[in-house]
A and B are shown apart, each in its own frame.
Chain A
Amino acid sequence: MARRKSNKGNKGSVNGTAVCIGAVAAVVLGILAFSGGGAKRAAVDNARNFSIADYRTDASRYTNNRYSIEGRVENIETLGNDRLIAVSVTGNSQERLPLLVRSGVAQGVNLTRGDTFLFEVECCTGHDNDQKEIKGVLVVRRVETK
């Protein structure tokens, strides 16, 4: 299983200046990362590094990780403009992977049942109205027609 290290800050004895420099650097890096040319970044793993079986047993392990997954849309649940789709990953028809497609993410891609798409997803933890955690949900960041 491939997994990236989570970006957790070092809480060593750091002085205030270093903290400020670090923060600035992080902002710069962030901007670079989510700029228009960031989609092809090496931070996105492909589906070969993603195991659905593992995901079913402990999705939180993948939190904040990003994956590029190719799959066919098998089912679509809708709430408002948000959609929750179930895709069958190529090569594994006995599994369905639930993906949350927020409003506007598809950007002109018509998600239809039976079609295959390339999804860039990130495992996220959300919150419901009571601020309780909704863990291990794969949120689609970008969709491309295959």
Chain B
Amino acid sequence: MFGVLDAQMEPGNYAITPDLSGNHGNNNANNKKPRSSHSKKARDSRADDEDYDDEDEDDSRSSRRRGAGGGSGTTDNGEPENPRLMGMEIPLLDPASDTVTYNGGKFDVGNNAVVRARFEKYLQQNPDDSAEAKRYRQRMDDLMKLTQNNARQHSEVGSQTLLQIGRGLYEINTYPGDAGQAATLASSIASALAVQYANRDREKKNEQLTHEIEKLVHDTDILTTRNTHGPSHKQVGTGRSARVVKNESKSHTFRIAEQTTEIATKKGTKVKNDADSVAALELSKINYQATLVSFLFQRRFEHALIGSFAYRHIFRDGDNKLNIKKDSQAAKVFENGAGLPPTINSIASLAANARREVDQNMEAVTNLLAQNKLAEATQHLIEAVAIGEYMPSVATFPTESRRRIAEFWTLRKRTLTALNARDYGTLEEIADKMKKLDADFDDSLVRTYCDGRKLQSDMCLRNARKAFMSGDEEAATDYAEQAALIWPRNPHLKEMQEEVLKLDNNESIITEFKSLLARHQYRTIYNERSKFKVVAIDPELEKQLEDCATLIGTIDAMLAQIDVAAKQDKKMGPCMAYEMLLDFQDKDSRYMEDTAFKDAVVRFKVDARDFVAALDEAKVQEERREYGSALANYYRAQCLCLPSNRAKEGIDRVSQLILAAKFPQ
């Protein structure tokens, strides 16, 4: 209801127009003919009630439809149901209504903007418990008691009492929190009373006119009788001077005519007075009712109650029906809200219920705050402020309690902002904070929603990465866009973006890597391996980079060991080192591509030149089948470096050949 009320408070959203149709335009519908007037109004009322019933039924159907909205997979306006992820419905935010639709239900995430703005303003205000405010409320209570007591006693409120109410209202008008509403009510009462006084004067005039008419009628009747029953002529004088003249009945005739005219004129005046009274009364009612409805919409429930109680004593014809245009926004308030026919009593009922509801809400807020249940307390306070911002229980709500609610409310607002921005990380952080403030805060919906969306985004990103690796840039872009749409601040999104950007920027590095690899410049790659890390995007290149690192690492470690070993035996050390280098070279031809390895080979070749020369010569001679020379060289090499495997192997090999050969005897 109060959502509607808030909407009504927007300028131009409601209209109260006088119903000047035949029912109320009937001149006979005045105090003198209450029965006929009432019976007709009762019929109208019944007809209206039937209309309301029909509309209520339509509303209830509509309400059922709304209640079931989303549960069947489609919304009222035929929108498709929410998307699903892994069998679970993904909640969707409706920014227009600040609600989240989930599993067929709508969950409030902050209420509408008007309520929100008013609530935030309220939270930042100080409690209005000044002496002036207390005096105002005391006076307002007195006025309400005055009207209520008179209503209970069934005694008519006299003009003096009404004037007392009016004066009281003018007195409290100076309080700023009243915003001049008391004066407005007082003015309306005064205006209505003025109309009543004017009507009373007209009634008195009409009574006087009635008397005058009756007298004129009486006089005219006498004159008419004289004319009918008297001689038409009479003799005047005697003798010769006597003459017959027409009787005075001739003058009666004129008099009768004149009096008849006067009677008609007075009757016309009387009718006009009656019509003026009725019109003034109706207009006065409409103005007064408009003021009362306005109070209700402005949530000035005390004013509305005082005005409602005073109404029946100002307008004593028993007509309490509100002259609200059918189908107007104001009429809907009374239809949907209380389910009552629109009467002055409806206003009183709504106002009284609203006051009670506000007080109950505030009581609940206080109790919930004592239990640290901020979420529920906030919800109740929103309702209380929305309904009765000017109620004493709301206006005097303590500052400390407002601060606690404001803190929770700010987080709740940020939840909405984060949800709109699809910043699920922040959303979870806020949920954590809210949970810390209120242990009973139900964050399951937020967490489920966040987890689902994050997973969805990550899956898209994974697909994007796979597509990118396979070279399908178009698909990769599509997946990345989807991931960004679902969760714009996904940290993995940034990682991938950096990867892609780096890859784009390092295209030349990859080319350089391939070139160095083709030229077997393994040590250059190794020395700049941090730069070439970008090639890891390609698994094959990554493996080659790792191979380079392993190769050069092995060579460096080996050279270090060989250097140490060579220094330990200056005679055979270089020979052994050289032979080891040759052994490594035989195992992996890439060793000779390395400059450090080649340098070491050259260095040890110089240091062990005799040994190297013997081995080389042995090899040459062996190829020439000069086995005697070859064997002598191998022995020479063995003499220079006894542990030499190459020398030993050569000796064994050539010795076997010679021993197996046939020589001339």
Chain A residues in the interface with B (C-beta under 8 A): 52, 55-60, 75, 77-80, 82-84, 86, 93-98, 100, 102, 123-129, 132-139
Contacts and interface: CB of A to CB of B under 8 A. Distances in A.
7 contacts: A58-B629, A96-B639, A97-B632, A97-B635, A98-B628, A126-B663, A128-B661
Contacts of B98: none
Contacts of B363: none
A58 B391 CA distance: 126
B625 interface: yes
Most chain B CB within a 10 A radius of its CB, from A124, A133, A136: A136
A100 B656 CA distance: 11
Nearest to B627: A134
A78 B658 CA distance: 11
A98 B635 contact: yes
B106 to A, nearest CB: 100
Interface residues of B, number: 30
Given A134-B661, A139-B663, A59 B628 contact: yes
Contacts of A123: 628
Given A79-B656, A126-B663, A127-B662, A134 B632 contact: no
B632 A55 contact: yes
A113 to B, nearest CB: 14
B617 A57 contact: yes
Contact of A124 (B621, B651, B664): B664
Nearest to B654: A98
Contact of A95 (B629, B639, B659, B664): B639
B626 A84 contact: no
B411 interface: no
B628 A138 contact: yes
B361 interface: no
Interface in B633-665: 633, 635-636, 638-640, 651-652, 655-665
A126 B588 CA distance: 38
Contact of B657 (A78, A134, A136): A134
Given A58-B629, A136-B628, A77 B655 contact: yes
Given A59-B626, A84-B655, A135-B627, 5 more contacts: A56-B629, A86-B635, A96-B635, A134-B657, A136-B628
Contacts of A79: 656, 659-660
B657 A128 contact: yes
Interface in B608-636: 614, 617, 621, 624-629, 631-633, 635-636
A44 B165 CA distance: 162
B632 A132 contact: no
Given A133-B625, A136-B629, A127 B661 contact: yes
B660 A129 contact: yes
Given A96-B636, A98-B635, A137 B663 contact: yes
A67 B665 CA distance: 16
Interface in B232-254: none
Contacts of B636: 56, 94-96
B615 to A, nearest CB: 12
A83 B655 CA distance: 9
A60 B657 contact: no
A68 B463 CA distance: 87
A77 B625 contact: no
A82 B659 contact: yes
Contacts of A126: 658, 661-664
A78 B629 CA distance: 19
B593 to A, nearest CB: 33
The 3 closest A-B pairs by CB, nearest first: A96-B635, A136-B628, A79-B659
Contacts of A60: 626
B289 to A, nearest CB: 134
Nearest to A129: B660
B663 A77 contact: no
A122 to B, nearest CB: 9
B638 A96 contact: yes
A123 B617 CA distance: 19
